[in-house]
Amino acid sequence: MSFAAARRRVALAVAWLGAACASQGAPPGGPPDFAPPRLVRVTPDSNARGVSPRGVVFRFDEVIAQRPAGGELSQVVLLSPSDGPARVSWDHTGFTVRPRRSFRPNTAYTVTVLPGISDLRNNVSREGWTLTFSTGSEIPATRLDGMVFDWASGRPAVRAVVQAFPRGDTTLAWIARADSAGRFTLRAFPAGSYLVRAFVDANNNRALDPREVWDTVGAAIADSGRLELYAFVHDTIGPRVDVVALEDSVTLRVAFDKPVHPASPPGAAQFRVAGSDSVSIAVTAVLTDSAYDAERAARRAARGDSAARLDTAARRGAPRARAQPPASRVPLPAATDRAARADTAPAPRMTKPLPPLRVVLRLASPLVPARNYRLHARDLRSLSGAVRTSDKVFATARSVATDSTRAPGTTPSTTPRTPPPARPRP
């Protein structure tokens, strides 16, 4: 091959590579995508009547992840009523929801998609969607609102699962999920008598498991209603004394391993303190934590008032300082005022009393330092009604504080103390 032919062949190869690169177009890019998937179509339409779909289809404006932020796709979808776990099938830009068997005739259905749908770039939607349709000719206008509380903690049961079973039929349930404040709403169910159950789904399997907190309430609904549920662990063993701490020589703070039923609060007759010499010390009063703390605050305020009166008497006759005019209040902007009102909005409160987990015992006589004692507690009743009797051994320190419940100016209670060692004479 001549040199000129070799040069022509190299030039043709370079030209072909340039044309091939040009035909591929511009490299992928463009502005980054931070928008979550947007719902563009639902089949059947919302509030549709007389339809018999094989499935409810949700379609989005882009490809969605097969496993959303909440885990499985079926864990962010609620089908109500339901005779079992709903079947959810993924299809690139959407998914289809089907009942366990088939849609029942003359039944109104509600499909709720919880927040958590994400795209392939992990952009998660914080929005949820709800669709209601009927395979019959009408959609009932019934509505049941309510609150779910974690009774032991006194806080709302966040994202609790709520199920309403018709009386005499546990195969079909209308389902809802509580929000971050424990509120829930059930809609479009036939009027009648229901058994409403709420539970905190700790493992997110849509089933009530042992050691999960739950509660049931009966409700007869004609058009609308409202109720509260108090979820707690339904155990068969009553509470026992877990910790005994000394506040002073005549005050014990006692903690239980589980809450005590507020309808059967422990009384003084249920407790007894005995020393190593088998001499019993009676309990004169049983206080809640809040009552005891209120007493301590009142005593501190009384001591502060006494100190203030003494200080006023000492400064009587001294020249008074000229009072400064009050500073003018600068009004906050409207947005800040709204935020402050939102932050100070009262949280939902229980109408039932909070179950006590700790109590404070007042003793008839002071405890001796450096001594072992046994606290006997009988007939403590749990939230589920189980009764238990228990004992707890505790020891006092070498030096026990005197009775702190006395008012200022009164004689302190006599508490035996270990005498200090005698100092040797020179």
Per-residue tokens: 420: 């200090």
What 8-state DSSP symbol labels residue 182? S
Cβ–Cβ under 8 Å, residues 110 and 130? yes
Per-residue pLDDT in tens (0 to 9) along the chain, 426 residues? 555 555 566 555 555 555 444 444 334 455 677 899 999 999 999 999 999 999 999 999 999 999 886 578 888 999 999 988 889 999 999 999 999 889 999 999 999 999 999 999 999 999 999 999 999 999 999 999 999 999 999 999 999 999 999 998 888 999 999 999 999 999 999 999 999 999 999 888 888 898 899 999 999 999 999 999 999 999 999 999 999 999 999 999 999 999 999 999 999 999 999 988 878 999 999 998 888 888 888 877 777 666 566 666 556 655 555 555 544 443 434 433 433 444 445 668 899 999 999 999 999 999 999 999 999 999 999 999 999 999 999 999 887 676 665 554 544 444 444 444 555 564
Domain stop point among 234, 249, 273? 234
CATH of the domain at 367: 2.60.40.1220
Radius of gyration of the chain from its Cα atoms, rounded to whole angstroms: 35
251 and 186 share a domain?
Answer: no
68 and 197 share a domain?
Answer: no
Phi, psi of 12 (to 5 degrees): -65, -40
pTM of the predicted protein model = 0.74
168 and 133 share a domain?
Answer: no
258 and 117 share a domain?
Answer: no
Domain that holds residue 75: 35-139
Residue 315 in any domain: the answer is: no
212 and 158 share a domain?
Answer: yes
98 and 147 share a domain?
Answer: no
Of all helices (H) and strands (E), which one includes residue 290? helix 289-314
Q: How many domains does the chain have?
A: 3
Domain stop point among 190, 214, 234? 234
167 and 294 share a domain?
Answer: no
154 and 194 share a domain?
Answer: yes
Residue 385 in any domain: the answer is: yes
264 and 363 share a domain?
Answer: yes
Residue with tokens 């450096």: 370
Q: What is the pLDDT of residue 294?
A: 86
Q: Which of 116, 85, 112 is nearest to 98 (CA)?
A: 85
191 and 58 share a domain?
Answer: no
178 and 265 share a domain?
Answer: no
- Quote the distance between the C-alpha of residue 104 and its chain's center: 35
193 and 270 share a domain?
Answer: no
Domain stop point among 117, 139, 161? 139
Q: What is the DSSP string of 73-107?
A: GGGGEEEESBSSPPEEEE-SSEEEEE-SS-PPTT-
